[in-house]
Amino acid sequence: MEGPSGDITVTSSNRKCSAVTGSARKIKDNAADWHNLLLRWEKLSDEGFTIAGNIVNLRLSSSQSEQQQQVDEPLSPPSAPSQPAGGAAELQDECCKLQDVFNKMVIVVMKMERLMASQRGVLDLEEFQFGPEGRKVPLFHSWTTKQFEDSSRVLLDAFRQELQLKQTILQELAHTVTSDLCMVYLSCWLHQPFIPPQTRMTLEALLLETGHRPL
């Protein structure tokens, strides 16, 4: 998934200048936070892909060296380590870097969960004030408060699933010796199958409805 473009100014200063208040203000601020978190996620994903590529190159190079050693010395005792010490240290370093990226992605999803809880709180308040049908007049253009909550849920579910996939890749990548499987892992990290284009469209619709994008 391509990251949302960065042409939205969503600083704290322009939030203070916003004319909206109450539930509308909270929803608009949440939309800005969604935008910023998705940008953060995409930056981390790009960084992780570069590191994952380094891990694959190191792992496959080590595997080829082991195979060549077995061909050259079929009768020698297995006294040498399966991977040169320098290569093992470099691989470990890259794995630690990828773990650090993943940990930061966990924090992003945790912040998304708080946004979801905040949006749910707005919906509960609206239902308390106006009943199950909600308010009669939309807060912005046409969406109901429930539609904002639904959009947040779509975004959160997508990134939760993608985080689980990246955790699997993190756990398996350094132990994979088959080049084809390595390429599958790398492709999955890059293309993020659980974050399809519809997810980007959901964010864009949210930004349009709250006025962060011009209609």
Residues 130-188: tens digit of each pLDDT? 888 778 788 899 999 999 999 999 999 999 999 999 999 999 998 887 889 999 999 99
Whole-model pTM: value is 0.82
CB count, 10 Å around CB of 40?
16
Q: Left if phi > 0, otherwise alpha if psi is -120 to 50, otherwise beta: which for 11?
A: beta
**pLDDT at position 177:** 79
127 vs 3, higher pLDDT: 127
**pLDDT at position 81:** 45
Amino acid found at 34: W
For the stretch 65-108, pLDDT in tens is 555 444 555 545 544 444 445 578 999 999 999 999 999 999 99
Euclidean distance between CA atoms 4 and 37, whole angstroms: 10
| 200 contacts 4 by C-beta, under 8 angstroms | yes
Euclidean distance between CA atoms 78 and 186, whole angstroms: 32
**pLDDT at position 12:** 41
Average pLDDT on 113-129 reads 93
Euclidean distance between CA atoms 67 and 147, whole angstroms: 57
Two tokens, residue 176: 């994979």
| 118 contacts 31 by C-beta, under 8 angstroms | no
Euclidean distance between CA atoms 146 and 140, whole angstroms: 13
Average pLDDT on 47-67 reads 82
Average pLDDT on 27-47 reads 97
**pLDDT at position 130:** 81
Picking from 207, 173, 143, the residue whose alpha carbon sits closest to that of residue 48 is 173
The length of the chain in residues reads 215
Main-chain dihedrals φ then ψ at residue 80, nearest 5 degrees: -80, 150
